[in-house]
Amino acid sequence: MVLAYLCLALLHAVYSLVVLSISFFKHLTRPNPLPLNASRRRVPQHLAVLFVPETDFDQGTNEHCILESVQRAILWCQQVGIPQLSVYDADDIILNNIGSIERVPTLYSSSQEPKVDRERIHYPPTPPLSDYAESRPLSPSEDSAIGQKSFITLAISSPRATTRHSKNSGSLTLHILTREASKPAIAAMTRSIARAERKNAKSQTKLSISTLEAHLEGKHGLSPPNFMILHPIHPSKYHRSPIELHGYPPWQIRLTEIYCNRFRKQYEGRLMWFLPSHVSSALLSSSLTEWEFREALDQFAGAEMRLGK
């Protein structure tokens, strides 16, 4: 047993060397992505960005990186012409700092200020189904009675300068997803269907995928993203472990293409492991970069969708 353990340690050491050399090689040879405004074969119609905060970093660093990334993503989506953007983190950091996202104009010169038009708050479908089916936006005062918000939608109008591509280019719908938009939303839907079923007790409950789809993705639901960028705040640490989905709403990711950049700041991370965390967090944390965003768009443009055929 001890022998096996020693061999395993050796195996891990050899593997580390192999991974290190391969990633070094890839680092040298990776191609430069196309520029942001290049015309690509396909552009996602709904982009999701999943942020992975880092436990070792203090809250301020995590918040700063995530919010900066969100602001950048909004800007790039408008430039590329992506009409829908969902942002998610498992700790509701974005939701708790929603005020700073509404101050997006700092990114623009004053003449082209985008405006956050209106705000829609989506609650899990807790009232009975019949009520839910009507378009009845709930007022925030009911918040405490109902529980947590599921997700928030902001409409961001376009800055004038970027409207040259197409007529809807530039205006953006931003969804800020919370943990409640994930499996709890499916549970809430289940409860509301159950309540409705209880009233017409005779019938045997029969559900189809399209019924659930109408609930979860319909008018008050969350539409599925066709592309997802996974953005860990501490890339070099995350690099060591494979991709995880951190509770992103499962129903919606059926056909979502997933992108994660595994090579950011990898060497810095390896070289600075001895630094105290408050120093390294300042050096290693990273927001979404344009390079990453362009590379992600390239991956999406190259993906082949067969839909089961």
Partner 1 sequence: MATPSSLLLFIASLLHLLQWILEKSQATRLAQRLLLWVLAAGPIPQHVAFVMDGNRRYARSKGKIVQEGHGDGYMALRRVLEICLRLNVRCVSVYAFAIDNFKRSPDEVEALMYLAESKLLELCAHGNLLQEYDVRLNVIGRTELFPEYVQKAVVKAEGMTRKNNRSILNVCMPYSSRDEMTAAVESSIREALEKGDNDLSTIENITEDTINSHLMSVQRGSPPLDILVRTSGVKRLSDYMLWQASPVRSIMNHALRPVQCCENTQIHFNKTYWPDFGLFDFVPIILKWQRSVWFRQYEVSSRR
> Under the criterion CB under 8 A, does residue 290 sit at the interface with partner 1?
no
Interacting residue with partner 1 among 4, 31, 135, 141 (CB under 8 A): 4
**Interface with partner 1 by CB under 8 A: which range of 11-19, 67-75, 79-87, 159-167?**
11-19
> Under the criterion CB under 8 A, does residue 13 sit at the interface with partner 1?
no
Which residues, 6+ apart, have CB-to-CB distance to 108 below 8 Å?
114, 159
Nearest to 250 by CA among 212, 200, 296: 212
* Per-residue tokens: 260: 């994660």
Of 166 and 208, which has the nearer Cβ to partner 1?
208
Nearest to 250 by CA among 229, 232, 230, 224: 224
> Under the criterion CB under 8 A, does residue 90 sit at the interface with partner 1?
yes
> Under the criterion CB under 8 A, does residue 244 sit at the interface with partner 1?
yes
- What's the sign of the alpha-carbon dihedral 125, 172, 108, 49? positive
Please report, as residue ranges, which positions from 111 to 170 form the binding site for partner 1 (by CB under 8 A): none
Nearest to 256 by CA among 217, 288, 200: 217
Interacting residue with partner 1 among 85, 249, 269, 298 (CB under 8 A): 249
**Interface with partner 1 by CB under 8 A: which range of 74-82, 149-157, 169-177, 198-206?**
198-206
Distance separating alpha carbons of residues 251 and 38, to the nearest angstrom: 32
Interacting residue with partner 1 among 46, 47, 54, 61 (CB under 8 A): 54
Interacting residue with partner 1 among 108, 246, 268, 301 (CB under 8 A): 246
> Under the criterion CB under 8 A, does residue 32 sit at the interface with partner 1?
no
**Interface with partner 1 by CB under 8 A: which range of 64-72, 149-157, 197-205, 279-287?**
197-205
* Per-residue tokens: 245: 């989905």
* Per-residue tokens: 228: 């997802």
Which residues, 6+ apart, have CB-to-CB distance to 90 below 8 Å?
52, 53, 179, 246, 247
Interacting residue with partner 1 among 30, 160, 183, 219 (CB under 8 A): 183
Interacting residue with partner 1 among 68, 213, 268, 290 (CB under 8 A): 213
Quick one: 25 exposed, middle or buried, by C-beta within 10 A (0-12, 13-18, 19+)?
Answer: exposed
Quick one: 61 exposed, middle or buried, by C-beta within 10 A (0-12, 13-18, 19+)?
Answer: buried
> Under the criterion CB under 8 A, does residue 5 sit at the interface with partner 1?
yes
Least distance CB 109 / partner 1 (angstroms): 36
Size of the site for partner 1 (CB under 8 A): 71
What's the Rg (C-alpha) of the chain?
Answer: 22
**Interface with partner 1 by CB under 8 A: which range of 106-114, 132-140, 143-151, 185-193?**
185-193
Please report, as residue ranges, which positions from 267 to 286 form the binding site for partner 1 (by CB under 8 A): none
DSSP-based three-state secondary structure for 231 = strand
> Under the criterion CB under 8 A, does residue 29 sit at the interface with partner 1?
yes
Of 156 and 284, which has the nearer Cβ to partner 1?
284
DSSP-based three-state secondary structure for 116 = strand
**Interface with partner 1 by CB under 8 A: which range of 2-10, 37-45, 100-108, 278-286?**
2-10
Distance separating alpha carbons of residues 116 and 37, to the nearest angstrom: 24
